[in-house]
Amino acid sequence: VTFSVDENGILSVHLRDEETNLEVSAKVKTSRLSDKERLKMVRNAREEEEKEVIEKAKHEARTAFAEAVTRARKSVHKTDVDETKIELQNLIKQEEDWIESRKDHSNKDFID
């Protein structure tokens, strides 16, 4: 989502869905909003956009971590040393438990 206000106070909004690449644009040519109200709307929209970017990054980080643990679990059989295999399985179990225990938590738990 991008917002812009030109020198005449015309608000332009452009939306693009990253998954489908569908795009929509709109212009608000007349408004009963004051300059202060328009600026507040733009500021709020930018803050929301920043929050969405951060949440997406957190989600991608959590997903990548879970995928790495899954790959590790699948590769344990490659070692022939039973002691090493058990140690790896225990470490993987700890990480899987950690992920599972935070399944319903906010993304903050994965970054802070």
Tell me the per-residue pLDDT of 36-54, one tens digit each, with 9 for 90 and over. Answer: 988 898 899 899 999 999 9
- Pairing, β 11-16 against β 2-5: antiparallel
Determine the pLDDT at residue 104. Answer: 66
User: CA 73, 78, 82, 83 torsion: positive or negative?
Assistant: negative
Determine the pLDDT at residue 29. Answer: 72
89-105 confidence digits (pLDDT tens): 888 888 888 878 877 65
CB 1 within 8 A of CB 13: yes
- Pairing, β 23-28 against β 2-5: unpaired
55-87 confidence digits (pLDDT tens): 898 888 888 888 888 888 888 888 888 888 888
Convert 84-106 to b/e letters by CB count within 10 Å (16 or more is b). eeeebeeebeeeeeeeeeeeeee
5-18 confidence digits (pLDDT tens): 877 777 888 888 88
Taking the C-alpha atoms of residue 15 and residue 36, their distance in angstroms, rounded to an integer, is 24
- Output the DSSP codes for 68-94: HHHHHHHHGGG---HHHHHHHHHHHHH
Give me the percent of the chain exceeding a pLDDT of 90.
8
